[in-house]
Chains A and B, each alone.
Chain A
Amino acid sequence: MNPITLSLHPAMAMMELAPVETGATARSDVKSTARGGASPALGRVLGALQASGLAAGTLATARGALQKMERAASLLGGADSLESGLAALLAAQARQADQRTTLAKSQAICKLQELKLKNLAEREQIEKRLEAARSAGFWSKLITAFKAIGAALSAASSIFTGPAGIAASALLVLSIIVSAAKPDDWGKWLSLGLSLAAMALGGYAAISNLVGTAASAAGTVGAAAGAAGGSATGAVGSGASAAGSAAAQATTQAVKAAAEVAAQAAKTAAEAVQSGVKLAAQIGGSASQAVAAGGAFAKGHYESEGLLAQAALAELRALRQKLLGEAEDEREEMTAVIEAQDRGVKAVVRALESYHSAALSATGRQS
């Protein structure tokens, strides 16, 4: 492990982060979490660990690591918070190591560049393995065997709990399919990008569950859907702030935090999809355009831009038709790919609606 910790051990670095810069108000600070104010789901995991008979030292280290990762995940939440969150983290690390100088800063940038190169080299190695896997022919047979991709995806959805997890699983399986179905370069990159996107999505879905939002929101959606209707999107912030009475304060805060984390998860989902196809999009091709349109659709929905979302969806459908027309010999595989992607995008959108509906319903009950 070689994080850019500037020779200091990373332990405790997260404990010094600014509490609100990421917008993760569910955690007023990490210290309070360490004192026992962990989110319900994280608390559940920690409780299970407590009862698992782990050695005290291991338990303490695992608890600290889980809390660090919970906090770190919030850094992935949005375009603005990532920079500020990372800046706070780096500054904290530098303080710990007493490295406040310009030299330390330039060293950190150099270290990051080194790590980028290292990761790119690793990626090249993965590419070679992709080639080997393709040459062996096993993957194409695997894909053929999994022609009933719907069943596979249904099972795969259990990798990560929650609707966003379904999207993650879909992307994961999709990446395997694409790499097997498309022998040229962009297919290779697309596959790798989708794999990474799937991992990011899945990881974030797990985080969402850990902080106790995804499960509760999904559970509430049935009751909330009727009340919230289609206008729920975008009402979270105003709804939460409107419920300002002292009695409702705690619940409001929790709902608002849940909505924020959910929104972060959704935004991350859209960004992950988009970043996952970035390389492929540079090369071009109908499939990459179609996948990128899927990301835009989810993002549009998140941003409450109904028209944008509809336009993006129309674009997505048109691109898919074009793709099907261009790939007659692979129509069956690509249809499966498209259907899988469709389910993934829809799952993300459903997750968004669930979160918004649940939050709106809860705030409505208070006010």
Chain B
Amino acid sequence: MSRSRAWDEVARVAASGVREGTLKLRDVVGLGDDELRALATAAAALQRSGRHADARAVYSLLLLHDPTSSGAWRAMADLHHGVGDHAVAVACYETAALLGGRDEVATRREARSLEQLGHPSLAAELGALSPRRSERGAS
């Protein structure tokens, strides 16, 4: 396939942005909203049917597309919470919270993960950070 060399300059700008982290893959080869919804639906379906590795792969693709998507991190967290990978779940919940704020359900699940990991006091402290108390916006 031939391509116009006129786009090489644009590509250079895009590539440097991707490399330096100022552009996301989403910005350059972004999926449409309908595609993102379809992928999220597909991942949820895989998760429900017990195909956790496949669901994880799809969520990873969504993170590759937009690494700052709190929703994708939250979905990844829920997946790991559900299968008992609590340390991973906590890491993902915290990343999601950092990117999009805490929401009540996620906070509750993360607290349960912390309890499972043997840190009830930390779980209690996390409860104090819940949106109802801190009035932080949900993602």
Contact = CB atoms under 8 A, between A and B. Distances in A.
Interface string B9-42: 1111111011111111111111111111111011
A58 B64 CA distance: 21
Contacts of A100: 4, 6
Interface stretch (A9-17, A243-251, A321-329, A352-360): A9-17
Interface string B56-85: 111011011101100000001000100001
A86 B11 contact: yes
B32 A1 contact: yes
Interface residues of B, number: 78
Interface stretch (A155-163, A224-232, A256-264, A303-311): A155-163
Contact of B27 (A2, A59, A133, A155): A2
Given A112-B14, A142-B94, A202 B63 contact: yes
Contact of B18 (A3, A41, A65, A82): A82
B3 A87 contact: yes
B4 A94 contact: yes
Given A72-B25, A176-B94, 10 more contacts: A4-B28, A76-B18, A82-B19, A105-B9, A116-B22, A129-B99, A141-B122, A152-B91, A161-B57, A205-B60
Interface of B: 1, 3-15, 17-39, 41-42, 45-46, 48-49, 51, 53-54, 56-58, 60-61, 63-65, 67-68, 76, 80, 85-88, 90-92, 94-95, 97-99, 101, 114, 117, 119, 122, 125-126, 129
9 residue pairs, one from A and one from B, having the closest CB atoms: A203-B64, A3-B30, A206-B60, A199-B67, A87-B11, A155-B87, A61-B38, A91-B3, A65-B35
